[in-house]
Structure 1
């Protein structure tokens, strides 16, 4: 009986109306489909192919197998750039989440003019990254930068910031906090979804403000914090524009800001080692994939979706 039913399903044909609707659907979605194939699928496939070649954008190239990947694991600059990337990521992602959460908590109160305050804290996140980096290049200038001038008023000698190998990475971590407005808005929306009756019940039971935050607010906010962690992790490995602008694409001083994405750019567009750069991109992709999967495995089970 089941066999006859399966065969009847397979033999069922589309009506003329269904076929016409399907064709019209393909017609209207064809620009997106063609764009996806042409600008995403094709470059992805060719990038994977070029990673096994000696392609350099000039002259002929040949298939060299795993040579690029083998050379990559013996490249000291690659390991140094990966260390710098992970260093910045480890500090900037948690710090960014904490600062965004603190701002969201402050902007979640009901007070006069709160919409203006929310707009002020959100505006930096929509300023173009290049423009922000140029401005902060002057802010962190050790000679005439406004930050060192302010410190000088209090009798503090400011560090070299981006001109000091010891302070270059901490400076980039501080700079990453400039754009936490997007995350702040997401966490603010999460805070407003926390059930007020649970907060009131906890307060009636004698729970302190900290206990209410820890046992009521944080569980309902955990999906938003998990989203912030995953997206921050992925974006951290792709950190590029501010470093490129502030160091003129060199990763100075003394290679202390040479991050993975910048080193990839140098190999592709400065040294024209496109095949080697593509191999680097795929290794970086695998690292991001593994780190994301590991984070999901460790953290996802602790996320509370009761408020969803």
Structure 2
């Protein structure tokens, strides 16, 4: 396989155009085209179109798309960012896409939509919040009783309320409520997660993050992901489904400019579960205790 491609970028005072066109050995094309328009100091608008032929192949393609691999998809994305009032930001986007040919998860060509809206409000120097809503509908195949598969719309809904309050220079509180809804043919699931964070920094060299979370969902399809602070160079976004509790403590301590210690302790309870997880990550029983540490030296 080989690829031929041409890209461009044009920057004008208030608008930037960008695009790329590629051709793979199969003779099939891939095209992306878009612009970002700063129409006003308080208004920005972005539009992005893509078309990837079913026979188009790339080595390292990583363009914005619903499916991986940048092939067998066309779509139009548009997003807006507004600052209607001081300390208020509104962000929203719509992504409409189409699969010209069947995929690994569909039996025929299909289309989907993805919507998101978020409002960020700084109520004061110490208190801020944001509200976020997301909805997506996309085709997914399902085998019937006779063994014949057909495509149905898989719909997911996410709602989130997040607040952050700085009590003083040492204490910060973060609170979140998140709802997840799932619908696919005759299957319907709902769930929610709430957490409370306490951030404590008594002095410059010590930082503590403490969280308690409670989750209750109907199943795996209504699972909820949430970011957790972790050790250096570690990235943690665990998912929670079923019913249970999660408690974790993350610590960072730098006794000197050359040494930094990290510690994370976590405890999870899955109510009524005899085991949970999968593969090497499976846990027998309904509780799991985690303890990890790290020392970082600078020479």
Fold shared by both chains (TM-score > 0.5): no
Q: When the two structures are superposed, what TM-score results if normalisation uses the length of structure 2?
A: 0.20
Larger strand percent: 2
Larger radius of gyration: 1
More helix by share: 1
